[in-house]
Amino acid sequence: MSQIQASPPPPFPHPPAWARAAADALAARHPMLAGIEHRAGPLPWPLRPQGFPGLLRAICAQLVSNEAAFAIWRRVSALPGAMTPHGFLALDSERVGIEGGLTRQKVRHGRALAEAILSGALRLDALAAMADEEAIAHLCTVKGIGRWTAEVHLLFAHERPDVFPSGDLALQAALGHLMALPARPDAKATAALAAAFAPHRAVAARLLWHHWLHHTKRATLDPPGDPA
């Protein structure tokens, strides 16, 4: 008698109940989103840590491909002490660049982030009580953190349900493809199109990334970013 093989585990955790309900509601309201999971498989739900590590990871992902972002993050996170503001500042900047694979500009941005946290200029403990736009504006006070970086952090680390990084190139491309647009919409046009997905824009973003990764045959779910 042959044994039934167990299915392999999903690459990322499944969405929480609120997100599953939101994805189902989006699929019911928007036919172009309805077939994504049928084609690409169940929606994965990767998360990032809050605080310094999560923001540093978002900085690592700026202006590079998904694959490069993961490779850089693995190198940076392996540096002794690099996951805390004190530890990151204690590292030699040249070492972070050589061993971590970060550009000089991103090393400066990482150090600016660490200094802002330690000085109290960046109040990470207050983010949860801030509305989305207030939280984005507060994060953007740090040199090297722009709107895309702030939005991606709030989406992946804080699970904000209605944040949509309209400046993300992959999201723009996914919308353009699904809507059969003649050209990839810019950030302003993408934000206008995404307004229809409220109040579940973050879940819509995850569905669109999922679609685009499947369509382009890429294996990672770390979105490529515009300049911060």
Question: Domain holding 145: CATH number?
Answer: 1.10.340.30
pLDDT of residue 13: 77
Is 141 contained in some domain?
yes
For residue 11, being part of any structural domain is answered with no
Q: Is 145 helix (H, G, I), strand (E, B) or coil?
A: coil
Q: Which of 224, 225, 172 is nearest to 67 (CA)?
A: 224
Q: Is the peptide bond before 223 cis (omega within 30 degrees of 0)?
A: no
* 95 & 122 share domain: yes
Q: Is the pLDDT of residue 25 over 70?
A: yes
Region 206-216: what's the mean pLDDT? 94
pLDDT band at 95 (very low <50, low <70, confident <90, very high): very high
Burial class (CB in 10 A: 0-12, 13-18, 19+), 91: buried
Q: Is the confidence at residue 21, as pLDDT, over 70?
A: yes
3-state secondary structure of 83: coil
Instruction: Answer yes or no: do 58 and 133 share one domain.
Output: yes
Q: Are residues 60 and 145 in the same domain?
A: yes
Percent of the chain at pLDDT exceeding 70: 90
143 plus 175 within the same structural domain: no
Nearest to 159 by CA among 200, 123, 209, 194: 200
Q: Please tell me the predicted confidence (pLDDT) of residue 193.
A: 98
Task: Give the pLDDT mean for 17-40.
Answer: 96
Has residue 23 been placed in a domain? yes
Note down the domain range covering 187.
Answer: 17-45+163-215
Q: How many domains does the chain have?
A: 2
Q: Is residue 83 part of a domain?
A: yes
SS3 of 141, please? coil
Type of residue numbered 87: G
**Cα angle for residues 224, 161, 48 (degrees, 5° grid):** 50
Could you tell me if 173 and 132 lie in one domain? no
**Average pLDDT for residues 55-84, to the nearest whole number?**
91
Tell me: do 86 and 149 sit in the same domain. Answer: yes
pLDDT in tens, 160-184: 999 999 999 999 999 999 999 999 9
Domain CATH code at residue 186: 1.10.1670.40
- For the cut 50, the answer to whether the pLDDT of residue 41 exceeds it is yes
In the numeric block, which tokens belong to residue 162? 């209605």
Please return the burial class of 135, using the count of CB atoms within 10 Å of its CB with bins 0-12, 13-18 and 19+: buried
pLDDT, position 98: 93
Element (H, E) at 213: helix 201-215
- Looking at the predicted structure, is the pLDDT value of residue 48 above 80? yes
Q: What is the pLDDT of residues 116-154, one digit of tens each?
A: 999 999 999 999 999 999 999 999 999 999 999 999 999
Backbone φ and ψ for 225, nearest 5 degrees, come out as: -115, 160
Question: Can you give the C-alpha Rg of the chain in angstroms?
Answer: 18
Per-residue pLDDT at 20 exceeds 50: yes
Residue 144 shares a structural domain with residue 71: yes
* pLDDT score for 189: 98
* pLDDT recorded at residue 222: 53
Higher pLDDT, 63 or 54: 54
Same domain membership, residue 108 and residue 85? yes
Q: Which long-range contacts (CB under 8 A, 24 or more apart) does 87-91 make?
A: 88/52, 88/56, 88/114, 89/114, 89/115, 89/118
Helix-helix angle 201-215:169-178, to 10 degrees: 80
Boundary-marking domain end, from 134, 156, 178 = 156
Judged against a pLDDT cut of 80, whether residue 220 lies above it is answered with no
pLDDT number for residue 36: 96
